Amino acid sequence: MSKTILGLAGSLRQASFNAGLLRAAAELAPQGTRIQIGSIREVPLYDGDVEAESGLPQPVRALQAQLAAADGLLMVTPEYNNGVPGVFKNAIDWMSRGEGAAIFAGKPVAVIGASPSGFGTTLAQTHWLPVLRTLKAALWTDGRLMVSRAQSLCDDQGNLTDDKTRALLRKFVEGFAASL
């Protein structure tokens, strides 16, 4: 049976280490599993007045549809100032609006991330816990992946080139896919 995982990277930067980590995850997904890479780039800043007047913006509706059709969600988070990136939190906040909260409820979610720091994305991944708990998502905790010193593991386009890290990522994605 085929499985689809929606993958979202929480950075807008072209050569983002996290976008590169997500691309590598899609390449390394086991047979029968597809990681569909979604984009938060066009999601506007949340504004309740806009929501009240116009409903959900099209990019948000598209992400909600992708999430609803997926068997799981892979969040690839940077860590900014020891926390979650504002653009990523904003996208998840928008996605949870309207019928979105019901889409998150019970949805298997895994969180990974890459950072130039020596600590990886430990704090950002931890900061996602209350958000995912509030959304009633089914957080997958059988695996953990925090890529430290990403600049030495990626090329200048953000692509993950380190074989050891790619092997760890493959194992992580295989474990998450097997849980779906």
**Angle CA 27–31–36, to nearest 5:** 50
Return the pLDDT at 96. 98
Return the pLDDT at 1. 76
Rounded to two decimals, the pTM is 0.97
- Residue 161: strand, helix, or coil: coil
CATH number of 3-179: 3.40.50.360
Which ranges of the chain does DSSP label H, i.e. alpha helix?
17-28, 48-54, 58-69, 86-95, 100-104, 122-134, 163-179
Q: What is the pLDDT averaged over residues 6-21? A: 96
Structural domain spans, the chain: 3-179
Q: What is the pLDDT averaged over residues 120-147? A: 96
Q: What is the pLDDT averaged over residues 18-42? A: 98
* Burial track 87-101 (b if 16+ CB lie within 10 A, e otherwise): bbbbbbbbbbbeebe
Check: CB of residue 66 under 8 Å from CB of residue 38: yes
Following CA atoms 158, 164, 169, 171 in sequence, which dihedral angle do they give, to the nearest 10 degrees?
A: 170
